[in-house]
Amino acid sequence: MKLLIVSDTHGNLLALEEAVKREQDAEFVLHLGDGLYDLEAVRHTMRCPQAYPVRGNCDFDRTMPSERLCGFGGKLIFFTHGNGYEVKMTTGALLSTAKQRGADIALFGHTHLPYYAYTDGVYLFNPGALSMSQSGRCTYGTLMLEEGKEPVFTHHEL
């Protein structure tokens, strides 16, 4: 199973469309906030996998959850934008919450920087940003899940 993981699109529809085109074989897209309107616009103009979005600090649809806990490919994934966990300073609170909820993986955005770590039994992954990237390049992520195997995380540049 392949997941497309995006965050912080901030109006960059072209970058989001390109990521969806490049990862046509993804079964699901997880949008980690700050661009939920972008996701809806792309879903109306092109074929897009089933989406699981969360609200970011720049999203105003209060009916959208700010975090989710979902099972994919035999792994329990906790995902959030990250602003409520102060991820620009540390991943400690995010890691603690993921562990409390029994998650194998914690996904987050907000920092506009790609990140990957395996800490205390939990994979932490930030795909970076498809707009206003702190690294200077638009990035997104993919996650390959196969039951009984370790997850494979990849950062991609546009």
CA atoms 30, 73, 141, 81: torsion sign: positive
Question: CA of 142: how far to CAs of 4, 57, 58, 60, 90, in Å?
Answer: 5, 23, 23, 26, 23
Which DSSP letter does residue 84 get?
G
Go through 19-55 and write b for each residue having 16 or more CB atoms within 10 A of its CB, e for each that does not: bbeebeebebbbbbbbbbebbebbbeeeebbebbbbb
> What's the first-to-final CA gap in the chain, in angstroms?
22
Q: Give the Cα separation of 105 and 6 in Å (integer).
A: 15
- What local confidence, expressed as pLDDT, does residue 136 receive? 79
- Point out the residues of the chain with pLDDT beneath 50: none
- What local confidence, expressed as pLDDT, does residue 126 receive? 98
Query: Rounded to the nearest 10 degrees, what angle do helices 13-22 and 36-45 cross at?
Result: 60
CB distance 127 to 32 below 8 Å: yes
CA torsion angle for 113, 53, 57, 125 (degrees, to 10)? -30
Q: State pLDDT tens for residues 54-97.
A: 999 999 999 999 999 999 999 999 999 999 999 999 999 999 99
- What local confidence, expressed as pLDDT, does residue 90 receive? 97
pTM of the model: 0.96
- What local confidence, expressed as pLDDT, does residue 48 receive? 78
* CA 108 to mean position of chain CA atoms: 6
Question: CA of 145: how far to CAs of 4, 69, 82, 104, 121, in Å?
Answer: 11, 16, 23, 12, 16
What is the CATH T-level fold of the domain 2-157, as seen in this structure? Purple Acid Phosphatase; chain A, domain 2 (3.60.21)
- What local confidence, expressed as pLDDT, does residue 101 receive? 98
